[in-house]
Amino acid sequence: MKLATKLLSVTAIVSATSAAAVDLEVTHWWTSGGEAAAVGKLAEAFDASGDHWVDGAIAGSGGTARPIMISRITGGDPMGATQFNHGQQALELVEAGFMLDITDVAEANNWEEVIFPPALLDACTIDGRVYCAPVNIHSPEWLWLSNKVYEDLGLPVPTNWDEFVASADAVRAGGKIPLALGNQPWQSSLAFGALQIAVAGIDAWRAVNVDKDMDVASGPVFAAVFEAAANARALAVGSNVQDWNQATNLVITDQAAGQIMGDWAQGEFQVAQEVAGTDYTCLPGLGLNAYLSTGGDAFYFPKLDDPEQEAAQKRLAALLVTPDVQVSFNLAKGSLPIRGDVDLSAANDCMRKGLEVLAAGNLVPGGDMVWTPDTQTQVADLMVEFWKSDMSAADAQAAWVAILQND
């Protein structure tokens, strides 16, 4: 670790211990086994630095928690810090003046130098000012497989989505659910997003998601994506669970063969003491196009109009980005760190695969960074309708293009 960073980290800690410990309420939606283990690492580090993390966990996914967070901030009952996916989710709160500018923290700790990829800091920066501390890259585009399901059936563990689909009949005949999928709307959306990159490839993905090229969106390459989504829909029949981690549990307990889910699923395998590469297999980019999107989680700090609280908010912001916290949190969370100068020798098989993708620069911006929350909600609603009905792939594609055109 660079001497400067070490000195700054010590400074941050000394300043906290010399000042009276301050309680900060921190809201987030990390309530599954793996998520709770990971957020516990953040709380532990903040308490050890001399302040006190008052945990404000909100059960349910981000779609449940964010409206609660936003209404507290805009309704005059702000917390000390809150999780959002960085990008557009907190944009309106920042523009309305509710959120603390932490540019001084970013500058004092050289975030511009240490945060990698720079897109993560860009996603926290509005009009040249920094408003959030990124804590991870939470790539959604992974396929998680139960090795045991395949071994018990005498089948090779698939190495990509195509092999996974091809093995589905045998898996179903063996009494297992091919694809575990929970009923929360964002899960269908996530699966569709992962299939986009895997099936359409990166150039077509960029054409639609970055250049907003509606000809490509309505063309044959994305028709293949919607056909793949229709395949996935058939494979998920029988997966009657609600939350994402319940679907992950179907794979962990070898009731289902696989799940398309973000890297946070890995936290669940770890809590279940399953070993990557031995008990389960992870395929970034569903094994077809190993690209990861650089969306992620970050903490924002509502203005509290209290100098002592504000000082503690800034100590927390600095702490979240330090190398030690980055390692302890991301190893528990299953996500990737937001800086390249950390020692991840403890990384397991899956994190190493993620780090290889990161090192190769095979990155795309996350959905939270390219589409408005409203567009994302409409796409999620369409996906729920598509995945829960017999809507044709062609009709779904037409409806999808109509939504994107109004972003």
CB-nearer residue toward ligand GAL: 179 or 261: 261
Cβ neighbourhood burial of 220 (10 Å; 0-12, 13-18, 19+): exposed
How many angstroms separate the first and last alpha carbons of the chain?
Answer: 43
CA 187 and chain centroid, separation = 12
Strands (DSSP E) contained in 239-342 are 256-260, 280-284, 292-293, 297-300
CB-nearer residue toward ligand GAL: 264 or 280: 264
Cβ–Cβ under 8 Å, residues 37 and 271: yes
CB of 186 to ligand GAL, least distance (A): 8
CB of 244 to ligand GAL, least distance (A): 6
CB-nearer residue toward ligand GAL: 50 or 134: 134
CB of 193 to ligand GAL, least distance (A): 12
Q: How far apart are CA 154 and CA 372, in angstroms?
A: 46
| Residues across the chain | 407
CB of 297 to ligand GAL, least distance (A): 5
CB-nearer residue toward ligand GAL: 61 or 88: 61
Q: How far apart are CA 227 and CA 145, in angstroms?
A: 22
CB of 264 to ligand GAL, least distance (A): 4
CB of 296 to ligand GAL, least distance (A): 7
Q: Where are the alpha helices (DSSP H) in 153-260?
A: 161-166, 168-173, 185-195, 202-209, 214-217, 220-235, 244-252
Cβ–Cβ under 8 Å, residues 30 and 83: yes
CB-nearer residue toward ligand GAL: 280 or 329: 329
Q: Residues interacting with ligand GAL, by CB under 6 A?
A: 29-30, 35, 61-62, 85, 138, 244, 264, 297
CB-nearer residue toward ligand GAL: 138 or 206: 138
- Torsion of the alpha carbons at 86, 87, 89 and 94, rounded to the nearest 10: 90
CB-nearer residue toward ligand GAL: 29 or 387: 29
Tell me the CA distances in angstroms from 23 to 46, 65, 252, 276, one per residue in order.
Answer: 10, 21, 37, 38
How open is the CA angle 83-88-94, to the nearest 5 degrees? Answer: 75
CB-nearer residue toward ligand GAL: 138 or 176: 138
CB of 180 to ligand GAL, least distance (A): 15
CB of 122 to ligand GAL, least distance (A): 18
CB of 369 to ligand GAL, least distance (A): 13
CB-nearer residue toward ligand GAL: 57 or 153: 57
CB of 223 to ligand GAL, least distance (A): 29
Q: How far apart are CA 278 and CA 147, in angstroms?
A: 7
Strands (DSSP E) contained in 248-367 are 256-260, 280-284, 292-293, 297-300, 363-364
List 50's β-bridge partners, or say none.
none
Contacting residues for 380 by C-beta, under 8 A, at least 6 apart: 63, 185, 186, 188, 189
CB-nearer residue toward ligand GAL: 189 or 378: 189
> For residue 324, how many other CB atoms are within 10 A of its CB?
15
